Structure 1
Amino acid sequence: MEKNLAENSDSFAPRDETPMPDPKRDGNADAEEPPPPPSNNDEEQTEEEKKEEETAETVDAVESPPPSLEKVSEEIDQFLVETLEEKEKERVSFEIHGYVGRFLDLIEEKLEKCETGEGKAKWEEVIEKDTWLLESVNRISKFKKTLTRTQNHDENETMEEKNEGRDSIENRVGVILQRAMSFLEEDFRLLIEESRTPTELVPDVDPKGKHVERSEQKEDNLDHQQHEESESEMNFPGYTDEAIAYMSKIAGEMLTGGYESECCQVYIVARRTAFEEILQKLGFERISIDDMIQKIQWETLARDMIPAWTNTFRQCTAVYLPGERKLAEAVFSSQPSVAENLFSSLSRGVVIPLLNFAEGAAMTKRAGEKLFKLLDMYETLRDIIPKLDGLFPEESLEELTTEINLAKSRLGEAAISIFCELENSIKSETAKNPVPGGAVHPLTRYIMNYLNIAGDYKETLEQVFKDHSRIEHLDSTSRPFYQENQNQNQNDVVDEKESSTPLSPFTAQVMRVMELLDTSLDGKAKLYRDVALSNFFMMNNGRYILQKIKGSSEMRQVMGDTWCKKKSFELRNYHKNYQRETWNRVLTCLSHEGLSVNGKVQKPVLKERFKGFNALFDEIHRTQSSWVVKDEQLQSELRVSISAVVIPAYRAFMGRFAQYLDAGRQTEKYVKFQPEDIETYIDELFEGKPQQSTGRRKT
């Protein structure tokens, strides 16, 4: 530039029309002549020297290899360290050396090779071969931040002081960083999607078909669940420590480099997909509330979907969500708040559909058979809530707990409504025909079996009724009652301490159901014209009720000893009334009174007594052999009590008076039964099988 300025200096000189004086022309020979201009030979020599110098430089360059990425990276690291030191000294201006451009060139070459390559076949190659990319992104991110900080400082300087090339470098760094981050994002995606092994699961679906064995099933299911949880913890979420560590490094660089949204999007999509696989293996099917109410049959819900839901919810909160939280915390260890947000979003996406399913089940049409499945779901939510503490961040915990409690409340209200419908089941049973043979009425079986199963859920029902004891709207007869009735007609069986204990809402409702059932049975007993059969019916049904209550420790606790004593007292009365109406007539035929006049046996009267006994016993046997007692113990007790009354009386009657009948044909005509025959015929009673006449059989 100086040469050009010198060569063109005439253009900036003042123009003068007077010519310069010529020494020769003026005759001044001694005047000093100006030096001669450089010759053309000198100029050519100068150009040759330049070419030689350039050639020498080229040779030197060929002999020394270009700096490697490792070497340039070391220089970049040193540059960043020095820049940090300058920043601490509040001197942030610096010179961008040539190795910066070389570093960027080498990174671009690497990225171009990646773009034109065949791609990664396995996720292991990410860890083995892409370490350079992770390290380079780290350097580029730091370098970009350094440029940004110094750029902010330079903005306070004059335009003349500003480094004009810095904007260009910063733009180039931004482009390269974006390209590198796209590769890093793909590496992260490959690791999060491909490096995990499939979680092996065996759905632990328990249909609970036999509620009477519920306690044993709970123990077996608990052991099985604990065993399965320990196996699941070993296999979930299925990443090696090496893969998690590398994912953590990538996530850290992406978040630090300003690519948080891209990183989080890859993570959340991959983990949602993984959880969808888990839910599918556990048997849970996402379904809308409308479809549950309108399209799905309850049998399908009860048999398949609700057990799968219960198992899925329990295992998710016990195993999979805790494992998911650990994974998020490990991958995003550099940003705990990001880990919390991702886990909260993912877990909400799992829990909310499960809660929607619960609400849909609670909204289905009320029916008695649905109660226990709804209570299973209620118990699941109740047991899960304490496990949430410490699993979710505080804000998410409060929100999820509120929604779980809401779903639990709706299940509880549905359960109360269904249970209280037992009253209407009893009231609506208005059959006008008596049950054949005085057997246990179907209504009695239904109600008592229902209460017997309810006993397995006693604690849950107590809690549900306590939390949702607003049952006034169901029926005006559903009142917190019984205190005034509990002390009536119990005489010596009243337990003053027990009767003074306040009844819980659930116990009060059960007592109300039992009271209505007794009233209904009283009305049905009146349908029998035979008083003996009416008492037999009440005894038969009462025995069934008492045995069901005693067979369930929970229901016996609900009803109490006072009720059991009262029911036993009633049964004894029904038994006495039955025997009086049936067998007292038989004993009248065997009475000794009126047979002797002045010490002489009246044969005509004796013959009538035998004939009356034979006819009456034959009628009773023919009739009551069709009566039904399914309870073997009651059946045996009845036969024993009848035999104890009839056989001794008959044996004594025969022993005293049979001798007064003429031997032979007369005896055969009037004495049709031996005591052993009476016992055999009594043992045929109450089997529900009509028998032919005893007289016909003997002939």
Structure 2
Amino acid sequence: MAIVEIPRRQTTLTITPRRAIASSIFSLSNSTSTTISSFSNHLPSLIKPSHTMSESMMDENIENAEAMITKWDVKGSSTFDKFTSLFHENRKEAKEFIKCVKDLRRAMHFLVSQRTGSAKLVRAQNLMKMFMERLEKEFYQILSANREYLDPESVSSRSTRISESFSSTTSNDENDYSSDHEIQRAGEKISEVERLSVLAMSDLRLIADCMISTGYGKECLNIYKLIRKSIVDEGLYCLGIKRYSSSQINKLNPNSLEHQIKAWLSAIKIAVKTLLHGERILCDHVFSSSETIRESCFADIAKEGTTNLFRFPEFVAKSKRWPEKIYLLMDLYEAISDLLPDTESIFSFKSVSSVKFQALSSLQKLGDSVWTILSEFEASIQKNSSRIPVPGGAIHPLTTSVLNYVSSLANYSGVLSDIIPGSTSSTQLPFPESYFESPTANEMPTSAVSVRLAWIILVLLCKLDTKARFYNDIALSYLFLANNLQFVGERVRTTNLKCLLGDDWVAKIDRKVKSHAANYELIAWNNVFSCLPVKSQEQMSPETVRAYFRQFIAALDEVYRKQMSWVVPNGKFRDDIKVSIARKLVPVYREFYSTHIETVKGDRNLEVLVRFSPDNLGNYLSDILHGTAESESSSSSQSSSRASRCLL
């Protein structure tokens, strides 16, 4: 599996430099009390004095400790420039160094328990202080020199194997890290980089355990926090995580805000799953001997930066709203929701619980904002007051925008199911029976998301019915409704809306489309149909036949001229309408033509009188409903003879 690289920041950061850290270590060491009473305070309460240690063994331990610390003493060295790490140069002797500390600690406990002379105890205490100064520098050196192998990304990606590697090296206090055998055995299973990471983590834990057990946990912790917090802060910065205030977010224009949100979305997964996860693993391992220190350390390192990380979505949620912002809010919601289990696991300590609460607060604010935008969008449909009819009965811009919006919302059905409260029943959102044709309970959308999206579309359809009344031609108003409902059905059928609304919902829309198309045909073509006799087989005088032909051509030309400016945008739907008209018109005309053409065949104006044969009448209809001529039929006034109808 490829390791995702966290980019290294090239610019100068406000991070404590190594020399400053080194200086702080010296100040910590120099401030350590050398009094016997101070040592007594440092003694761990859980370590009992050894009653089996003889005075000669005690003296031997002190002598060995003095010899060891004299060899590796850092006294007089004020910087790390020429510092030679014991753990790097001679790991075997490093283990002996730690053993000397443990033996010296036993000797000091023996002296305290035997209430012997204070001179030896003072000597032991001074030796212990020197040991701790050395271990402080070793601890700092390992943290600094192994940044490449201790970066959270590496630790996180190898956490499972590294944990397995250490599983056999933590059996008890006496045997922990007693040799390199266990680590070498683990190294056979992992790469060289991973082996170095394992060794560095092993050494840090060894030193931390030693310093904590000797009463110098605070000094060790301060070094760790100084270095690791700078790494976490730098990692967040390199991921593009900035510090924002609510006022700064409000000042961003939509494009700038979208850019910042996308940058945050690109960073959040790496920040949580890699940076913070790795840091928690490292902290838990190094300070595994003390849960209190482990918790305090991780809180100081990660709490501030992570709280800022999760506060950004809340600021976004509270900023000014616009309809398209809902998608960005849902992206943020989904990202936090997906990472919530990881967040709760990483920030399980009580001292960092505020990070979890901030993530949950952001989720709540994002959900509230999404719900508000959804309600405002629905209200904007209802408030749309445009009275200008769309030329030619075409698709209304409101229809296009609403279906684009709702079909995109369908892609977020999983997020919306968490946001939309409860399961909205049909009693809460009553769907008119005229729209659903008295649907049964099984035919109604059941999920809260399905019901809410179906309701928004229903609000649109009701608004379209109102807008259809602004046409002064009843046939055109029906064509307008047929066009728009056909568009609605097609968009639902070809998007994720179909999965939410179901086949029955689409089928009902299709039936409504056919009903509106049939009404259009009936009203628009009724005059043409009525120009031909009902009984074409009856005998007629030539003058009567000429009159029928003239009336038919006149009515046909009028309808043709009018419907050249009408439009059906969908090609298949347009062809279906033309075929339907031709199937009704051509057979009636063919019967009349076949029966009476001979009666007027000798007429001098036959070509003008009879312009179409039955076979080319269909071709004449091919040019209509393309909207190629200027609309003459739209009007802002409603026809007084408009038939009363309800879309829903």
* TM-score of the aligned structures, taking structure 2 as reference length: 0.73
- Sort the Cα spacing of 1:346 and 1:112 in 2 relative to 1 into closer, same or farther, 3 A: closer
The answer to whether the 8 A contact 1:495-1:562 is kept is no
Paired position in structure 1 for 2:565:
626
Paired position in structure 1 for 2:484:
541
Counterpart among 639, 642, 665 of residue 581 in structure 2:
642
The answer to whether the 8 A contact 2:423-2:448 is kept is no
Q: Where in structure 2 are there 5+ consecutive unaligned residues?
A: 1-46, 156-189, 632-648
Matched, 1:407 2:354: no
3-state SS, counterpart of residue 240 of structure 1:
helix
Q: Deviations over 1:42-86 (max 9, x none)?
A: xxxxxxxxxxxxxxxxxxxxxxxxxxxxxxxxxxxxxxxxxx999
Matched, 1:259 2:203: no
Q: Partners in 1 of 2:341 and 2:568 — Cα distance?
A: 49
The answer to whether the 8 A contact 2:250-2:320 is kept is no
Q: Where in structure 1 are there 5+ consecutive unaligned residues?
A: 1-83, 155-161, 202-232, 470-477, 693-699
The answer to whether the 8 A contact 1:438-1:540 is kept is yes
Greater mean alpha carbon deviation, residues 540-549 or residues 621-630: 621-630
3-state SS, counterpart of residue 248 of structure 1:
helix
Q: How does 1:422-571 map to 2 (within 5 A)?
A: 422-466=377-421, 481-483=428-430, 485-488=431-434, 493-498=437-442, 505-553=448-496, 555-556=497-498, 558-559=500-501, 563-571=505-513
3-state SS, counterpart of residue 605 of structure 2:
helix
The answer to whether the 8 A contact 2:578-2:622 is kept is yes
Specify the code of the residue in structure 2 equivalent to 1:323. Answer: G
RMSD, aligned CA = 4.2
3-state SS, counterpart of residue 285 of structure 2:
helix
Specify the code of the residue in structure 2 equivalent to 1:369. Answer: E
Matched, 1:189 2:189: no
Paired position in structure 1 for 2:242:
286
Q: Partners in 2 of 1:580 and 1:97 — Cα distance?
A: 115
The answer to whether the 8 A contact 2:229-2:302 is kept is no
Paired position in structure 1 for 2:202:
245
1:95 deviates by 8.5
Specify the code of the residue in structure 1 equivalent to 2:438. Answer: V
3-state SS, counterpart of residue 324 of structure 2:
helix
Paired position in structure 1 for 2:183:
none
1:569 deviates by 3.3
Matched, 1:306 2:250: no
3-state SS, counterpart of residue 528 of structure 1:
coil
Q: Partners in 2 of 1:128 and 1:525 — Cα distance?
A: 88
Q: Partners in 2 of 1:399 and 1:99 — Cα distance?
A: 48
1:671 deviates by 2.0
The answer to whether the 8 A contact 1:133-1:184 is kept is no
The answer to whether the 8 A contact 2:154-2:278 is kept is no
Counterpart among 173, 185, 192 of residue 127 in structure 2:
173
Q: Deviations over 1:129-165 (max 9, x none)?
A: 57656744653575367447625753xxxxxxx7464
Q: How does 1:119-268 map to 2 (within 5 A)?
A: 119=82, 126-129=87-90, 132=93, 135-136=96-97, 139-140=100-101, 142-143=103-104, 146-147=107-108, 150-151=111-112, 154=115, 163=117, 165-166=119-120, 169-170=123-124, 172-173=126-127, 176-177=130-131, 179-193=133-147, 195-196=149-150, 240-268=197-225
Q: Partners in 2 of 1:643 and 1:370 — Cα distance?
A: 48
1:421 deviates by 1.3
- Sort the Cα spacing of 1:580 and 1:200 in 2 relative to 1 into closer, same or farther, 3 A: farther
Q: Deviations over 1:354-398 (max 9, x none)?
A: 320121121121221111221222223333334456555463686
1:455 deviates by 1.8
The answer to whether the 8 A contact 1:628-1:687 is kept is yes
Q: Partners in 1 of 2:534 and 2:61 — Cα distance?
A: 138
Matched, 1:103 2:66: yes
Q: Deviations over 1:204-257 (max 9, x none)?
A: xxxxxxxxxxxxxxxxxxxxxxxxxxxxx9999995222222222222233234
Paired position in structure 1 for 2:294:
339
3-state SS, counterpart of residue 371 of structure 1:
helix
Which of structures 1 and 2 has the larger relative contact order (alpha carbons within 8 angstroms, sep 6+)?
Answer: 2
Q: Partners in 1 of 2:74 and 2:349 — Cα distance?
A: 43
1:566 deviates by 3.9
Q: Deviations over 1:421-473 (max 9, x none)?
A: 1222112211121111111111111112211122222243233122698xxxx
3-state SS, counterpart of residue 673 of structure 1:
coil
Aligned length: 552
- Sort the Cα spacing of 1:563 and 1:103 in 2 relative to 1 into closer, same or farther, 3 A: closer
- Sort the Cα spacing of 1:443 and 1:545 in 2 relative to 1 into closer, same or farther, 3 A: same
Counterpart among 551, 556, 564 of residue 612 in structure 1:
551
Counterpart among 355, 363, 372 of residue 327 in structure 2:
372
3-state SS, counterpart of residue 513 of structure 1:
helix
The answer to whether the 8 A contact 1:292-1:360 is kept is no
Q: Partners in 1 of 2:68 and 2:619 — Cα distance?
A: 112
Q: Partners in 2 of 1:297 and 1:383 — Cα distance?
A: 28
1:117 deviates by 8.6
Paired position in structure 1 for 2:340:
385
Specify the code of the residue in structure 2 equivalent to 1:494. Answer: S
Q: Partners in 2 of 1:405 and 1:566 — Cα distance?
A: 41
3-state SS, counterpart of residue 466 of structure 1:
coil
Specify the code of the residue in structure 2 equivalent to 1:443. Answer: L
The answer to whether the 8 A contact 2:265-2:335 is kept is yes
Paired position in structure 2 for 1:589:
531
3-state SS, counterpart of residue 481 of structure 2:
helix
- Sort the Cα spacing of 1:343 and 1:198 in 2 relative to 1 into closer, same or farther, 3 A: closer
Q: Partners in 1 of 2:440 and 2:486 — Cα distance?
A: 25
Q: Partners in 2 of 1:290 and 1:265 — Cα distance?
A: 33
Q: Partners in 1 of 2:401 and 2:625 — Cα distance?
A: 22
Computing the radius of gyration over CA atoms, which structure comes out larger, 1 or 2? 1
1:308 deviates by 3.9
3-state SS, counterpart of residue 483 of structure 2:
helix
Q: Partners in 1 of 2:48 and 2:555 — Cα distance?
A: 122
Counterpart among 618, 627, 644 of residue 679 in structure 1:
618
Q: Partners in 2 of 1:559 and 1:164 — Cα distance?
A: 86
Q: Partners in 1 of 2:559 and 2:316 — Cα distance?
A: 54
Matched, 1:353 2:308: yes
Matched, 1:326 2:275: no
Q: Partners in 1 of 2:192 and 2:524 — Cα distance?
A: 73
1:535 deviates by 0.6
The answer to whether the 8 A contact 1:546-1:567 is kept is yes
* TM-score of the aligned structures, taking structure 1 as reference length: 0.68
- Sort the Cα spacing of 1:126 and 1:200 in 2 relative to 1 into closer, same or farther, 3 A: closer
Paired position in structure 2 for 1:270:
227
Q: Partners in 1 of 2:68 and 2:626 — Cα distance?
A: 102
The answer to whether the 8 A contact 2:381-2:459 is kept is yes
Paired position in structure 2 for 1:296:
252
Specify the code of the residue in structure 1 equivalent to 2:598. Answer: Q
Q: Partners in 1 of 2:60 and 2:534 — Cα distance?
A: 138
